[in-house]
Amino acid sequence: MKMIKAIVRPEKADIVVRALDEAGFISMTKLDVFGRGKQKGLTVGGIHYDELPKVMFLLVVDDESLDAAVDTIIDAAKTGNFGDGKIFITPVIKAYTISTGKEEL
Amino acid sequence: MKEIIAIVRMNKLQETKRILEDMGFPSFTAMKVMGRGKQKGFIHEFTHPIPVGNKDQDVKRFIPKRMIILTVNDYEVDKIVDVIIKTNKTGNPGDGKIFVSEVIDAVRIRTGDTGEKAIL
């Protein structure tokens, strides 16, 4: 199993959710986060924004469906400009469902 | 070291906190998150069920949850997972998930300690 941490633009969040939905990835967790990238934030006029609001998605998927999920997120969240976000993938050793108490996704 | 990420019901957080504290694991990070599972958020946990049918509302059907992140030693993982399951289980969908993953290193900022000493 792998955990996908995807940081995307807030205005793209709904589009990403719908795309993942259609691709069969329904379960996910959504967090509001603030972050910056290589461009050190954003300067609009004279005002410098150090940290920009983003939405982070946490998904845990099986190894075989990992590429499909990542491709779906990239397709949905891409605008081609700086600030589209990043996707990080980390291994998950175990997953439990609390309502059944079993070790399963 | 292992990181335990537990996503639980809002109203179970206080109880989970208390029981973990009694067991000797008072340190953790908690976050307010929104989530949904296999049921697509179709759980009538609220008195007014969210209207169905509008496609725009499909993506908005997230349910507020609390996420707890604990970093513990390898041999303590099973014990904590069991307790979290026991405390949070109601048997209905929406009870949440627990994920366990590997942590390579931990550092205590105050002293600069690394490894197991940092999470004591």
DSSP letters for B36-68? E-TTTT----SSSPPP-S-HHHHTT--EEEEEE
Any B CB within 8 A of A75 CB:
no
Give the number of C-alpha atoms closer than 13 A to the C-alpha of residue B61, restricted to the C-beta side: 25
Of A39, A53, A33, A99, give the one whose Cα is nearest residue B86.
Answer: A99
Q: Which of A14, A27, A92 is nearest residue B36 as measured by Cβ atoms?
A: A27
Within an 8 Å CB–CB cutoff, is residue B2 touching chain A?
yes
Query: Quick check: B72 contacting A, CB < 8 Å?
Result: no
Residue B61 phi, psi (nearest 5): -85, 70
- Between A48-57, A62-71, A94-103, B31-40, the lowest mean confidence (pLDDT) is in B31-40
- Closest Cα in chain B to A89: B101
Spell out the residues 6+ positions from residue A64 whose beta carbon is closer than 8 angstroms to its own: none
Model pLDDT, residue B47: 47
Q: Is the pLDDT confidence value at B57 over 70?
A: no
pLDDT tens digit sequence for A4-63: 999 999 999 999 999 998 999 999 999 999 999 888 888 888 888 889 999 999 999 999
| Predicted pLDDT of residue B30 | 93
Cross-chain Cβ contact A92/B7 below 8 Å = no
A64-89 pLDDT, tens digit each: 999 999 999 999 999 999 889 999 99
With bands split at pLDDT 50, 70 and 90, how would you rate the model's confidence at B92? confident
How is the beta sheet containing A2-8 ordered, strand by strand? A85-91, A2-8, A52-61, A28-35, B29-36, B63-72, B2-8, B97-102, A94-97
User: Which amino acid, one-letter code, is at A48?
Assistant: H
Phi, psi angle pair for A21, to nearest 5°: -60, -50
End-to-end CA distance of chain A: 9
Strand segments (E) across chain A: 2-8, 28-35, 42-44, 47-49, 52-61, 85-91, 94-97
pLDDT the model gives residue A71: 95
Identify which of B36, B60, B99 has the shortest CB distance to residue A60: B99
Taking CA atoms, what residue in A is nearest to B94?
A: A99
Closest CA to A1 of B4, B99, B107: B99
Give the separation between CA A94 and CA B6, rounded to whole angstroms: 12
Kindly provide the ipTM of the predicted complex, given to two decimals.
0.84
